[in-house]
Amino acid sequence: MKELNQYFPADYEQSRRSFRGHLSEIKDKWPDAELTTVSIGKEADNTIDMISSKATKTNEQVLFFTTGEHGIEGYAGAAMIQLFVDEYLHHVDPETTGICFIHALNPWGMKNFRRVTENNVDLNRNYLYNRSSVPEDVNKNYEKESELFLPDGKITDLSQEKMKLQAQLVKALAEEGYSAIKEAKGMGQFEYERGVYYGGEKEEETAIFLKKIQNQLLSDYPRVIHMDWHTALGPTNEITMVVSSEDERGEEELNAKYDLNNIQKFTPEKVKGDSTNHFHKLKNEQYSTNYLFSALFEFGTFGTGKQAELREFMTIVLENRLYWEGAENEGDRDWILAEFREMFYPLSEEWKKSVLHEGRKGMEAVLGEEGILKK
Ligand SMILES: [Zn+2]
């Protein structure tokens, strides 16, 4: 087994270099495999990299991994691709199974250790199947809490800011219950380009790219098995599978089928613009005879419960404010960035080990059940 840190590089460039390095090993089984590199955004060196190949005989199914949709979360995602290549590649039948691995859907965010794109867009609020279907009052809950979610000046005294923010959050919770804030988060907002959970005013380049790939895979293969890798949500140091509300199966059925402890479904109507929702919708409307498995896989950090939820909101809001307005004291800046890192790409060995361990569990449960891994 490789050293732990080989799976968790220090920066985007190093992660991309390892990813590109997988091509030769993949070519041993899929000789036609190719590396595709696409520049995204303002800097040419920020790229989405993709290694893909058709099955060598018949295209019965395809294994599809996506990583780094939320920038900084891509480090754990890239580790999953590496783990798959190291430990599971030889269990896949290249004659019937194609592959498509994507590194860093949001390369700018991964490089800069942010979750959003360089346009401040949360990509998982940007894949609207039909932009006109967004209800007009989509920003309603957000507006109510806009004081909380929008940056308002340079951070001068973090301990005071934290107390103020916490008081605001507690008050918002007392007034509205947890749901208003949560709904604002899940729905995103399409109005304040400097606010958190911004879905963007138009499609991001990445969304255009990924929609094209989703279409391509559904048209090339009758079965598509997709794992979209993320971090932060769910119990600490455990994997959680999050299934689109467009998937017709209920939680009970999913629990019976996949051998995983944590399975959640997106609540219908509560999350807008998620890429797996888009994938399912596309499949249901244009490729109805296909089989699609597409879900998010999250590696938990802060954990669950009210305390963790409060810490998440604080972290997201403070990091966004720091990005736009800055902080007077270096120490305050470092504290916010360290907390953000803790939420999406922790430095602790324990977490990294859990990612590999739980990642194996997730891949075996899903890819075993879906017939990607030969018994
Ligand atoms: Zn994410």
Mean predicted confidence (pLDDT) in 290-297: 97
Per-residue pLDDT tens over the stretch 191-202: 889 999 898 989
Domain covering 4-123+200-301+346-369 assigned CATH 3.90.79.10 in the classification:
no
Q: Which helix (H) or strand (E) holds 181?
A: helix 178-187
Question: Above 80 in pLDDT, residue 135?
Answer: no
Per-residue pLDDT tens over the stretch 136-172: 677 777 777 787 888 889 999 999 999 999 998 888 7
What is the distance in A from the centroid of ligand 1 to the CA of 67?
9
What is the distance in A from the centroid of ligand 1 to the CA of 93?
30
In the chain, the percentage of residues whose pLDDT exceeds 70 is 96
Q: What's the pLDDT score for residue 365?
A: 97
Q: What's the pLDDT score for residue 140?
A: 75
Q: What's the pLDDT score for residue 286?
A: 97
Question: Above 80 in pLDDT, residue 174?
Answer: no
What is the distance in A from the centroid of ligand 1 to the CA of 73?
6
Q: What's the pLDDT score for residue 245?
A: 85
Give me the residue spans of the domains in the chain.
Answer: 4-123+200-301+346-369, 135-189+305-344
What is the distance in A from the centroid of ligand 1 to the CA of 188?
13
For residues 305, 307, 309, 312, the Cα torsion angle rounded to the nearest 10 degrees is -140
Question: Above 70 in pLDDT, residue 270?
Answer: no
Residue 160 to residue 39: CA distance in whole angstroms: 41
| Residue 177 banded pLDDT, cuts 50, 70, 90 | low
What is the distance in A from the centroid of ligand 1 to the CA of 56?
33
Chain centre to alpha carbon of residue 245: 16
Q: What is the pTM of this model?
A: 0.96
What is the distance in A from the centroid of ligand 1 to the CA of 123?
9
* Strand-pair partners of 292: 224
